[in-house]
Structure formats: C-alpha cells, structure tokens
Amino acid sequence: MMNLPGLNLATPVADAPPIAVVEKHEHNLRIYTEYRFEVSFARTLTIKLLEGTAEYFGTELAPTQTYSFSGTKGAIFTWHGCRLEVSGEAESEYVAEETGMVAYANAHLALEGLRDRGGLEGGPRVLVVGPENAGKTSLCKILTAYAVKVGRQPMMVNLDPRQGMLSVPGSLSTAAFSSILDVEEGWGSSPISGPSPIPVKMPLVYHYGLANPEEGKVFKPLVTRMALAVISRLEEEPLSKSVGFVIDTPGSISAGKGGVYDNIEHIVSEFSINVVFVLGSERLYSDLSRKYQNRPTDEAVNVVRLDKSGGCVDRDEAYMKQFRQAQIRAYFFGSDKENGLAPHSQTSDFGDLNIFRIAEDSSNAYGHDEDDMYSRPSGIYEKTIPTLSIQNSLLAVTTASPADRQEVIRDASVRGYVYVSDVDETKKKVRLLLPQPGQTPANAMILGSFPEDVPGLVS
C-alpha cells in the first residue's frame, strides 16, 4: 500500500476562494531576527529569499526560489541578515527581534558534543516535553534539520497522535532522516505523498486511534513497541546509533497529576532517555529535575529548560481540525496541486473487511495496576460489522492477520490507510478509497475514534 496509487479517480476540486490582488512587499531582516506569519487554509503566501541567508525551522531557504505556504503558522530566521520578498494575504505577519533560536542552536551544539563523546554507547536520546502550543514540534524540526546539516542521520520519533509525521493524525511514527527537511511540507514526503524534489522518507507507523494518550491503556504498550523498534534499528545502523534520536510528545502528558507524570516516566524508561528538554513550563522542569537528580551516572537524565518561543501561538480546535483534514487529503491526493495523486475507488462486500474498533472500555483493558498492564488483553478491540457509523472514517490496515491475538494486532505496524466513502447496509457493500488499486486488504483493520470523520473527501 506504499506504492503510487492508480489513475482512475480525479482529485476533487473544491470551490476556489476569490483571489485577492496583493502587491509584493519586502522585509529587510537584521541579524538574529525572524519574520513570523500566519496564513489561513483558504489563502497562499509566497516567500522568496532575495539576499542573505535564512532558514525555516532549521532548513535553509534556497536563494531566489519561491516557497508557498497555506494553512500554517511559521517563522523564517536569519543569522546574518536577509531580504525577503513576500506576496499573498497573511492573517498576521511581523518581524520579531526576540527569538529562541540562539538557545535552540546551543542545544544542538550540546547534543553534538554528546555525539562526539558517545562512542560505542551511542548518541543522545532526547525527549521534548511541555504543554500544548509550546513549540515542541518546531524544536524537534530544528534539532533534526541541524543534525542533518552537519552530516548526521538522526532518528525522529513522533508520539503525538494529534500531529501526523509522514503519516496521518492518530498514528505514532518514526523515521531516519539523512536528507534535508522540506520547507513547504515540513517533515517531507513518504512514498504515497506524490512527486517531491526531496528524497522520500520510509516511516514506521503504529496506529493509536485516540486523541489523548491519557484516555486509555493502549498508549504505553505502543510506546514500548516503538522503543523496541527504534533501539533495534539503532543497533543495526551505526550511523544512526552515533547520533541518537529526538522524541516529540503531546502536551497532555505534561499536565501531570500531583507531580506524577506517568507517561513521561514510561517513555524515559522504555527509550532509556538521557536528555529531556522542557519547553514552556517551570513547574514541569522543577518536577522532572527533582525526580531525576540523584540517578546513577550510567542512568543519568539531564533535564534542560528552554524558553518558549515568542512566535508560539495557541492553535484552536477549529484550526487543528482543518490541519488534520488537510493532512488526510494530502495522504490520498498528494500535496502537489500540479502533480496530484489519483487514488483508487472500489466496492467491497461486508465480509471482505476485518474491522476492529477500539473498545470503549479499553481504558480498563489491562486493569489498574502496572504489573497487570499486559495480563488481560481481551478488551482492546471489538470486531465490528460495517454500518453507516463508519462512513467518512479512516481504517488503518495493519500487518497483522485478523486471526491474530488482539495484542498482536495492537502492536502491528501499519501498511497504509483506506477511507470509507460510502456504506450500503441494504446491499452490504462498502465503497473504499485506497492509495493504489488491488484487492481489498484481508489484514486486520483498526477503526479508532481519532482522527474524526472527514466528510466530503470524495465528491
């Protein structure tokens, strides 16, 4: 399901918003300043570097190349000064003189020092934590981009189901980065994303299917499974082992309950984390520093506080929903408007689908005791027959057989996703949208409650 899709279904064309005629204007940025902007999903902002040097979350802009942005909030920073040409309509734009880039660059240099001294033990294993909208993902991009820039091959791990990385929202993913990040597309492209000037990445994906890691007991087992995969990969690839990895996390796990951060502690333990960057929360920094301050040298965890960037803004749920739907649309139809993808539509019988819905009581699937976490896996999923309730939903096609035990299905990686565009309960037929033509996958498919339904993906 990772091949390029078929050519028998055209990309749906939404009504184009009225074109606003906006004259080009320029911004002259002094050293250590950044141009911050917000642009809606209905508009496009284009930016061109005319003079000097500049970077977008750690990735350098090519001179005179035009970059297009839509539905994003970004910042272009310059170390030596630059001149930008901007055209389009932004909801907000300004030049900021106070940024966190110097601190983030120092964090990168500190990690480089650890990599040079790591030897056979490997590079730093970095965890980034903090509340929502603190700039965690931006910091992860910067650290990854800087490592690639100096010839490293870092691994990036996304444990935030609300933000897809080389996959759709609702998933947890990891990938090794040996080429630069894509300025316009963020983390870059996977094989199903369509044409790209940047080499594609091959992510390993697990499906979580819930919005909040605090909702149930599925998150911890998947973290354990991801940690096993990442550490095994590092042992097989010396280039990645010497560099280590960076982990992005959801803000919800940083809220804590009475100073206890159960999911953070689980990630630290499973991944053998030795560096924790805390963004935007002095309380979290204080709690974690106190917890890890007296550990043995070979198990030391260095907790470092970094200031939240002034460019971080709250992203309301309406924006995040649009953002998720844009990611899902790009998964099936590509992000390149001129060279879009054309997924395959086909009709399947109810009996051809092996759908497992995340059980509503999955939060109690493993009991309440840590020692009992893996002892009662029977409540993870419920086998479900297609109904109208699954229309407009995504199904994660796993590598597991429907006859496998439920914990095997839970821990199975994802081959790809299919979209349920129509359900006919009378004829017991389901119309599916697949990235490529072929037989209906016989593998176990997971239906979660997140991401939410995406109506109108296929018109």
Q: Annotated binding residue at 138?
A: yes
CA nearest to 382, candidates 444, 291, 451, 436: 444
Residue of 366, 350, 353, 331 lying closest to 398 (CA atoms)? 353
Going from the C-alpha of 25 to that of each of 85, 87, 183, the distances in angstroms are 6, 6, 21
CA angle 138, 141, 147 (to 5 degrees): 140
Exposure string for 225-255, b = 16+ CB within 10 A, e = fewer: bbbebbbebbeeeeebbbbbbbbbbbbbbbe
Whether the CB-CB separation of 242 and 113 falls below 8 Å is answered with: no
Question: What is the Cβ-side half-sphere exposure of residue 25, based on CA atoms within 13 angstroms?
Answer: 11
Contact 282, 305 (CB under 8 A): yes
Strand order in the sheet with 429-434: 344-349, 429-434, 414-424, 394-398, 445-447, 355-358, 381-384
Distance CA 114, CA 105 (A): 14
Is 137 annotated to bind a ligand? Reply is: yes
135 assigned to a ligand binding site: yes
Q: How far apart are alpha carbons 212 and 275 in whole angstroms?
A: 24
Query: Is 292 within 8 Å of 114 (Cβ atoms)?
Result: no
- Torsion region of 122: left, alpha or beta (phi above 0 gives left; psi -120 to 50 gives alpha): left
Q: Does residue 186 have a known ligand-binding role?
A: no
Q: For 200, phi and psi rounded to 5 degrees?
A: -70, 155
Cβ partners under 8 Å of residue 426, min gap 6: none
Residue 136 is labelled as binding a ligand: yes
Nearest by Cα to 432 from 458, 401, 407: 458
Is 133 annotated as ligand-binding?
A: yes
Which residues define the annotated binding site? 34, 73, 133-138
Which residues define the annotated binding site for ATP? 34, 73, 133-138
